[in-house]
Structure 1
Amino acid sequence: MSKRVVLLANNIDELGGAQRVVQVLAGGLASRGYDVTIVGVEPLGERTAHVASTYQVERLLETPYPKQAGAELDSLRAGALRKLQAILDAGEPGILVTAQVWAMEHALDCDLVGWRTIGQFHSSIEAAAFGKDLDRILRAYRDVDQFLALTSVDAMRFTQAGLNNASWLPNPLAQWPSEVANPQSRTVTYLGRLSAEKAPMTLMQAWRIICEQGRLGDWNLNIIGSGPHDVQIQAAMTDLPRVQLLAPVADPYVALKETGILAVPSLIEGLPLVLMEALAIGVPAVASDCSAGVRELLDEGRCGLLVNRGDAAALASGLCELAENDELRARLGRQGREHMLAYERERILDQWEQLFESVNR
């Protein structure tokens, strides 16, 4: 079996999401003797420095695609495809893993003879339908050797939608924290993109309800992230006490180790890595019931509280229930850390190697 693996993503510069997973997989597979290359279609903002990497890093474009269709976009895409083909042809065929559907749409225009292909979607099927990506996913991934969803529930639903090659494999934790979070912390943390689907404004509304009720006076709220809702968050903060808006962090554990409760108010999610990391460090969560992945991570309530999505009052109630009960918070934190052992990197890498053997048969 070839030990060559190419991991293709929309970009490889974002701090979170599929990009972090690609980097974790690349480092893990390289440590097991695989010849790994990660490829980003286009750059995004400042380039992530892959310092002392044990894998190769490539970008198909030096500048992002233009927003409008036209000759410039066509020319850039043709150049991107030539570079991708050159990367694929630089050694013997192996396994191509496409982390996102747009990246797969580029790979489909290349000669993939001899390659085994694995396609991924890093969110729920509901998110795919909400974002109008479902039809694209069904087209792009119908002929790959294996399509991977994040949960068994999503794999079943993708199969029902027409992908007969669907299976599932959860994302791994980037690292296992050796110490647990500060159990005395009185901080509620939101850690993620400030955008509509993540619903940070629902959390701000919940915090307003809590403050108006005169509860959690010794607790703070940290909003860590950036995105299109920056201005709305800043405006909402002006008359709310004990709220900070902080810049994104490269290492989430830096923020999580001083967190008492993680808030996940999202409207749609897949298998949120930040929730996995919080549970691994012993931080319980209050999360909206927005995906099979969230339910699996919280183990149907053993590792945190599930509340109705988009419901600020329910979110406020859940935060108060957890913040005002030290014993409950400690118990859910212990159970969450234990539950996350199943997502430890080496265990997930074992499953990837089994998958590689399967698609090469």
Structure 2
Amino acid sequence: MVSNGGCVVSKRVVLLANNIDELGGAQRVVQVLAGGLASRGYDVTIVGVEPLGERTAHVASTYQVERLLETPYPKQAGAELDSLRAGALRKLQAILDAGEPGILVTAQVWAMEHALDCDLVGWRTIGQFHSSIEAAAFGKDLDRILRAYRDVDQFLALTSVDAMRFTQAGLNNASWLPNPLAQWPSEVANPQSRTVTYLGRLSAEKAPMTLMQAWRIICEQGRLGDWNLNIIGSGPHDVQIQAAMTDLPRVQLLAPVADPYVALKETGILAVPSLIEGLPLVLMEALAIGVPAVASDCSAGVRELLDEGRCGLLVNRGDAAALASGLCELAENDELRARLGRQGREHMLAYERERILDQWEQLFESVNR
């Protein structure tokens, strides 16, 4: 414990997530926060409820890593699931009891639902939701969020607009804090790149098939003949993407990458065709490296990142023709791409890791008062 202007702030932080192995945005944010807070002298432990795929290599020398389960929960309810959950809760309680109470940050609602069944006396709790309130309602998570987070010390949305809407929905403890960039790229992307990149999960809410339809429109119009489309990711729409590629020129389907900047440095335009989003980390990373975007107008976070059009083009979501038009407008105008890229990189300075960590420390002081 340390005293800061009369306010006693615990230096122990536990970050709890559904899993800590996925390449998704929430997991990456947990890792960035863990490393950043540890570098500032906090005693940090990150905890995943269950494993997912291959275990991610964490910087264990700077923070502790725990998983509550060795195998995922079974899909069907029953005695096995109940037994595994009881064991997971015992392990979580043991982790919490291994030192003085501090601050518990739950990155996802399912993780919070586990924490609620533990003894949290003495702990300050901060709950997060890493998407928009619209996404919560669409995914049928809103009622769970309202139940799980109603009594936490602070609930964090990603934008002020979403915080206001969560408050209107009944969470009087709602505030907002954006996610940080993992790193600041020292160099900008190749300005000569003629590649449109999609980087993310291949699933319905991300709408990669809308991008494939847009690319078909572009090809049928005979435009962007010197441009390529790279689809980088995996997910349930793999097969559909592969089928759509068979008669489309200049399209590649590539495996997910651990370091997005490897792909983004050779990208000319980022395509974000999503139907729902929060504050997409991949969009932040693209803008930080000077890559402008064409994105669907699907969340307050996307509008905030694109600064209402100063850092990229917004198009109607689910509209392949509008997406095709936006891609052509940006691809065919080198000066516009360069200007939006410069403005995007400048705009992302506000999301640098150290600036966001400053805000986290201010939040810790606030919840400890």
User: What TM-score results when the alignment is normalised by the length of structure 2?
Assistant: 0.98
- Aligned residue for 1:154, secondary structure, equals helix
1:25 aligns with 2:33: yes
- Aligned residue for 2:71, secondary structure, equals coil
| CA distance, structure 2, for counterparts of residue 2 and residue 263 of structure 1 | 42
Q: Deviations over 1:24-65 (max 9, x none)?
A: 000000000000000000000001011454000000000000
The equivalent of 1:203 in structure 2 is 211
Q: Deviations over 1:320-359 (max 9, x none)?
A: 0000000000000000000000000000000000000000
More displaced, 10-19 or 84-93? 10-19
| CA distance, structure 1, for counterparts of residue 335 and residue 48 of structure 2 | 45
- The answer (yes or no) to whether the contact 1:199–1:267 under 8 Å persists in 2 is yes
Relative distance call for 1:39 and 1:141 in structure 2 (3 A) is: same
| CA distance, structure 2, for counterparts of residue 124 and residue 310 of structure 1 | 17
Relative distance call for 1:53 and 1:225 in structure 2 (3 A) is: farther
**Structure 1 gap segments, 5+ residues each:** none
Structure 1 segments of 4+ aligned residues over 4 angstroms from their partners: none
| CA distance, structure 2, for counterparts of residue 2 and residue 25 of structure 1 | 16
More displaced, 9-18 or 46-55? 46-55
**Structure 2 gap segments, 5+ residues each:** 1-8
* CA positional deviation for 1:87: 0.1
| CA distance, structure 2, for counterparts of residue 53 and residue 199 of structure 1 | 39
Relative distance call for 1:31 and 1:139 in structure 2 (3 A) is: same
- Aligned residue for 2:196, secondary structure, equals strand
* CA positional deviation for 1:16: 2.0
| CA distance, structure 1, for counterparts of residue 254 and residue 352 of structure 2 | 28
* CA positional deviation for 1:251: 0.2
| CA distance, structure 1, for counterparts of residue 202 and residue 36 of structure 2 | 30
* CA positional deviation for 1:94: 0.2
Q: Deviations over 1:110-151 (max 9, x none)?
A: 000000000000000000000000000000000000000000
Q: Deviations over 1:179-237 (max 9, x none)?
A: 00000000000000000000000000000000000000000000000000000000000
| CA distance, structure 2, for counterparts of residue 311 and residue 53 of structure 1 | 47
Pick from 286, 289, 293: which aligns with 2:294? 286
- The answer (yes or no) to whether the contact 1:12–1:39 under 8 Å persists in 2 is yes
Relative distance call for 1:51 and 1:117 in structure 2 (3 A) is: closer
Taking the TM superposition and a 5 Å limit, the aligned residue runs for 1:273-352 are 273-352=281-360
Q: How many residues align?
A: 361
- Aligned residue for 1:58, secondary structure, equals strand
Q: Deviations over 1:136-185 (max 9, x none)?
A: 00000000000000000000000000000000000000000000000000
- Aligned residue for 1:143, secondary structure, equals coil
| CA distance, structure 2, for counterparts of residue 42 and residue 351 of structure 1 | 29
| CA distance, structure 2, for counterparts of residue 52 and residue 282 of structure 1 | 32
1:103 aligns with 2:111: yes
Taking the TM superposition and a 5 Å limit, the aligned residue runs for 1:1-361 are 1-361=9-369
| CA distance, structure 2, for counterparts of residue 131 and residue 234 of structure 1 | 26
- Aligned residue for 2:276, secondary structure, equals coil
- Aligned residue for 1:90, secondary structure, equals coil
| CA distance, structure 2, for counterparts of residue 51 and residue 155 of structure 1 | 32
- The answer (yes or no) to whether the contact 1:203–1:265 under 8 Å persists in 2 is yes
Relative distance call for 1:28 and 1:51 in structure 2 (3 A) is: closer
| CA distance, structure 2, for counterparts of residue 236 and residue 18 of structure 1 | 30
| CA distance, structure 2, for counterparts of residue 49 and residue 339 of structure 1 | 31
| % identity of equivalent residues | 100
User: What TM-score results when the alignment is normalised by the length of structure 1?
Assistant: 1.00
- The answer (yes or no) to whether the contact 1:27–1:53 under 8 Å persists in 2 is no
Q: CA RMSD in A?
A: 0.4
- The answer (yes or no) to whether the contact 1:96–1:118 under 8 Å persists in 2 is yes
- Aligned residue for 2:35, secondary structure, equals helix
- Aligned residue for 1:153, secondary structure, equals helix
| CA distance, structure 1, for counterparts of residue 228 and residue 60 of structure 2 | 38
| CA distance, structure 1, for counterparts of residue 295 and residue 61 of structure 2 | 35
- Aligned residue for 2:294, secondary structure, equals strand
| CA distance, structure 2, for counterparts of residue 259 and residue 269 of structure 1 | 21
- Aligned residue for 1:7, secondary structure, equals strand
- Aligned residue for 1:223, secondary structure, equals strand
| CA distance, structure 2, for counterparts of residue 303 and residue 9 of structure 1 | 31
| CA distance, structure 2, for counterparts of residue 310 and residue 53 of structure 1 | 45
Relative distance call for 1:357 and 1:110 in structure 2 (3 A) is: same
| CA distance, structure 2, for counterparts of residue 350 and residue 293 of structure 1 | 21
| CA distance, structure 2, for counterparts of residue 297 and residue 14 of structure 1 | 24
Q: Deviations over 1:303-324 (max 9, x none)?
A: 0000000000000000000000
